[in-house]
Chains A and B, each alone.
Chain A
Amino acid sequence: MWKFLHKLASPPHFYDLSAKIIPWFSVGALAFIAYGTIAGLFFAPADYQQGDAFRIIYVHVPAAYLSMLAYTAMAVSAGIGLIWRMKLAHAVAAAAAPLGAWFTFLALATGSIWGRPMWGTWWEWGDPRLTSELIMLFLYFGYMALRGAIDDTAKADRASAVLALVGAVNIPIIHFSVEWWSSLHQGPTLVREGGPAIVPAMMYPLLAMIIGFSLLFAALLLARVRSEVLYRERRTHWVRKLLMPSEEST
């Protein structure tokens, strides 16, 4: 196991392996998202209270889930990079930030669109989940701005890792906000005591969308980590050999 992880942390090995994995994740993502979209839009029954507006759940929930997953991945990788000085971990953290920002933006935007017909407003500052999710978007922006402001990669890695770890306190706040405080948001739908609060015909497309979006996130993350690895290893022999193979052979 350790041997495999050690090998995986080697940049050239990771670069090769990820190129082989990305197409599989992409095809899987496409299949799950296609099923989830079609089943969610056209076959799941309308909600008895929200009517067809509830179908926004199939894009809103996966986006919100990924916004937190991306931050968790970023914070854990940053922590690993900081403690064990693993270069690949910092590359993962740097690659996760823009993706996390996109999915957080998507969760906020689709939530706002859903909120308009259901709550009668696009935005409610008093809602703890909306506000904490917005804070997470700013944390992503801050993380990326900090990285961009420091030219030295090693220093940028360390400084941004500290910010990522400090900001991780927001993750449980987002998750438990609907239980800790009075919120316009509904409580947990899938993972709750007494089982899911959603019928199977509505739940299966949602699960498919969550799996599909997770695979999509994994594919995009790997693609971005490959770019990070290439940039960080730009002065190494293996990158020279990879990008200028003809000159190596002569």
Chain B
Amino acid sequence: MELFAMGEYGPFVWSSYFLTLVVVIVSAVQARQRHRQIANGIRQRLKAEETNE
């Protein structure tokens, strides 16, 4: 318990690490989603072009 209390600074230390984890996860998910979004958009356009032809 003392380990997690970090002296009297537990809330400051843990909130910093939690925020870091959130930023890392969000930026990784964003990068993945953007790639998927762009690839799907291009696929749809190509399919629409095929249909029109």
Contact = CB atoms under 8 A, between A and B. Distances in A.
**Secondary structure class of chain A's binding surface, majority of residues:** helix
A55 interface: yes
A155 interface: no
B46 A227 contact: no
Interface string A216-250: 10001001101100110010000110011001000
Interface string A98-129: 11001101100110011011000000000000
Contacts, number: 91
A186 B24 CA distance: 26
Q: Could you say which interface size class chain A belongs to?
A: 35 or more
Interface stretch (A46-54, A160-168, A187-195): A46-54
Contacts of A90: none
Contacts of A231: 38, 42
A102 B13 contact: no
A105 B24 CA distance: 12
A207 interface: no
Interface string B7-20: 11110110111011
A16 to B, nearest CB: 14
A232 B16 CA distance: 37
Contacts of A63: 20
Contacts of B46: 240, 243-244, 247
B7 A41 contact: no
A52 B30 contact: no
Interface in B24-53: 24, 26-28, 30-32, 34-35, 38-39, 41-43, 45-47, 50
Given A37-B17, A102-B23, A220 B31 contact: yes
Interface in A36-62: 37, 41-42, 46, 51-53, 55-56, 59-60
Contact of A106 (B23, B38, B45): B23
B1 interface: no
B31 A55 contact: no
B19 A234 contact: no
Given A41-B17, A60-B16, A230-B42, A52 B6 contact: yes
Contacts of A239: 42
B27 A42 contact: no
Contacts of A42: 3
User: Which 9 residue pairs spanning A and B have beta carbons closest together?
Assistant: A52-B6, A53-B9, A223-B31, A59-B20, A227-B35, A52-B7, A51-B7, A110-B16, A56-B16
9 contacts: A37-B17, A60-B16, A98-B30, A102-B27, A110-B19, A116-B12, A220-B27, A230-B35, A239-B42
